[in-house]
Amino acid sequence: MKQALPIISIPDERLKKISQPLTEVEILSSAVQKLGIDMIATMYEDDGIGLAAPQIGKNIRLITIGKDALKNQTALPFSIQNDLVLFNPEITEYSWKTEVDEEGCLSVPGYAGLVARHIEITVSAQTLTGEKIIFLAKKYFARVLQHEIDHLNGILFIDRAKEVWKHKRTISI
């Protein structure tokens, strides 16, 4: 059964630590598998599109990405119909072209900012089955991946932002 987990926020020092890679045995363990599934539930409960393990206080190289970020992607070694769980993701190549856009973060509540990100990246990672994959991510998917991988390296969007502002979340009824 999926279980939402508590998200930590700034100034918690665990958000600034570099996360440790997982072995294949650890990836395939029931505890880590469940953690990946629970992170997806947590991400959606808090209305996010991505979540990194440091955001739930675990300094391991694990991220989740919601399937909505995968729209309009092609030639991926996984289904764009499902949410994505990646272990040990690393960016191996960056496009020279970048784009500035607004970002927010579940661990930096109440703030948004403008962040420049590469519009295409190549990522190597492992799947829930431990399979090693390499893929090209473009546009929004690339942005979300860069944001989440930054978390694994102890970097928050506010560390990269050209401008940061406080905002109020509005709820329409």
Task: Specify the pLDDT at position 173.
Answer: 44
For residues 55 and 5, the answer to whether their CB atoms sit within 8 Å is no
Amino acid identity, position 61 = R
148 is catalytic: yes
Q: What is the mean pLDDT of residues 151-167?
A: 95
Q: How far apart are CA 131 and CA 124, in angstroms?
A: 11
Residue 170, pLDDT score? 47
What is the Cα–Cα distance from 83 to 69, expressed in whole angstroms?
9
The matching CATH number, chosen from 3.90.45.10, 3.30.365.10, 3.20.20.370, 3.30.1320.10, for 13-166 is 3.90.45.10
**Nearest 10 degrees: CA dihedral of 103, 157, 135, 43?**
-70
Q: What is the pTM of this model?
A: 0.94
Lowest mean pLDDT among 1-5, 42-46, 141-145: 1-5
User: What are the extents of the domains in the chain?
Assistant: 13-166
Q: Phi and psi for 168 in degrees, rounded to 5?
A: -110, 135
58-97: per-residue pLDDT in tens?
A: 999 999 999 999 998 888 999 999 999 999 999 999 999 9
Catalytic residue, from 24, 93, 99, 148: name it. Answer: 148
- Checking if the pLDDT of 46 tops 50, the result is yes
Q: How confident is the model at residue 102, as a pLDDT? A: 96
User: Scanning the structure block, which residue is given the tokens 């990405």?
Assistant: 65
pLDDT greater than 90 at residue 124? yes
Q: What is the mean pLDDT of the chain?
A: 94
pLDDT for res 169: 58
